[in-house]
């Protein structure tokens, strides 16, 4: 590959990724308006939920966040989960009524610091809480382990088929095995 083409490809990559950082920054200044598809719930993050509270009021939302704190009030069977974002200084409380009888997806033991995906109805404008409907623990460490497992398979295979040309920093084919004749 000639140098011009290489530079062009690296430039495309750089522009798109610097552009995405720029768009992420713009998203901080001008938070996107939450949208949803047909009857689906709004899939939003904490920041979008906080800023778009009036749009998602009385609507179903799905939020994915690390739990900062929780409190279970046994006398009224109410579980209150706190989602906090220290960077934006936002705090949202999600309440699960009748927690002991609540139909959970998988997790029954809530742990601070673990990531949970919660479906609920936003009542942030009227009651300052989100009413929880479903909860599911996200095992992000498993996803990372699976990705690393994939890499552990790929890396030896790369070196089986390719060798490194250190001068050009390129992977080149290993010499082809001699054909035993035939076709």
Partner 1 sequence: MFGTILSFILGIKGEKRIIFLIGNLMPDFVRFLIITDFFNLDLLSEFISYPINESSHSIIGVLALASFVSVFFEESLKPLESGLIKHQLNSNKSGLKFKLLKLQSMWQTKIKSPFFLLFIGGLFHLFLDSFMWPWAGGINWLYPLDFAMFRWSFKLWWPGSFDAIILLTPIFLIFLILGTIIHIHKTKSHSSLIK
- For partner 1, the binding residues (CB under 8 A) are 1, 5-6, 9-10, 12-13, 15-17, 19-21, 23-25, 27-28, 32, 35-37, 40, 42-45, 62, 64, 86-87, 105-106, 117, 136-144, 147, 150-151, 154, 157-158, 160-162, 169-173, 176, 181-183
Please report how close the Cβ of residue 9 comes to partner 1 at its closest, in angstroms: 4
Distance CA 121, CA 160 (A): 53
With respect to partner 1, which residue has the nearer C-beta, 36 or 72? Answer: 36
Q: How far is CA 119 from the centre of its chain?
A: 15
With respect to partner 1, which residue has the nearer C-beta, 97 or 168? Answer: 168
DSSP the chain: --HHHHHHHHHHHHHHHHHHHHHHHHHHHSPPPP---TTPPEEE-HHHHHHTTTTSTTSEEEEEEE--EEEEETTTTEEEEEEEETTTTEEEEEEEETGGG---SS--S--TT-EEEEEEEEETTTTSEEEEEEEEEE-HHHHHHHHHHHHHHHHHHHHHHEEEETTTTEEEEPPPPPP-S--
> Long-range contact list for 140-148, CB < 8 A, 24+ apart?
140/115
With respect to partner 1, which residue has the nearer C-beta, 72 or 84? Answer: 84
With respect to partner 1, which residue has the nearer C-beta, 74 or 176? Answer: 176
With respect to partner 1, which residue has the nearer C-beta, 101 or 183? Answer: 183
Please report how close the Cβ of residue 167 comes to partner 1 at its closest, in angstroms: 13
With respect to partner 1, which residue has the nearer C-beta, 102 or 119? Answer: 119
């Amino acid at each position: 590959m000639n140098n011009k083409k290489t530079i062009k490809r690296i430039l495309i990559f750089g522009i798109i990724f610097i552009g995405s950082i720029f768009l992420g920054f713009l998203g901080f200044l001008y938070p996107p308006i939450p949208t949803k598809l047909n009857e689906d719930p709004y899939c939003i993050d904490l920041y979008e939920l906080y800023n778009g509270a009036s749009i998602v009021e009385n609507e179903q939302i799905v939020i994915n966040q690390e739990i900062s704190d929780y409190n279970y009030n046994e006398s009224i069977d109410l579980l209150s989960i706190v989602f906090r974002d220290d960077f934006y200084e936002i705090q949202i409380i999600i309440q699960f009524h009748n927690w002991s009888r609540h139909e959970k997806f998988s997790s029954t033991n809530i742990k601070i610091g673990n990531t949970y995906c919660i479906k609920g109805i936003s009542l942030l404008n009227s009651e300052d809480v989100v009413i929880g409907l479903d909860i599911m623990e996200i095992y992000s460490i498993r996803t990372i382990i699976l990705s690393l497992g994939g890499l552990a398979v790929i890396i030896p295979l790369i070196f089986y088929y390719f060798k490194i040309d250190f001068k050009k920093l390129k992977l080149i084919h290993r010499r082809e095995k001699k054909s035993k004749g035939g076709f």
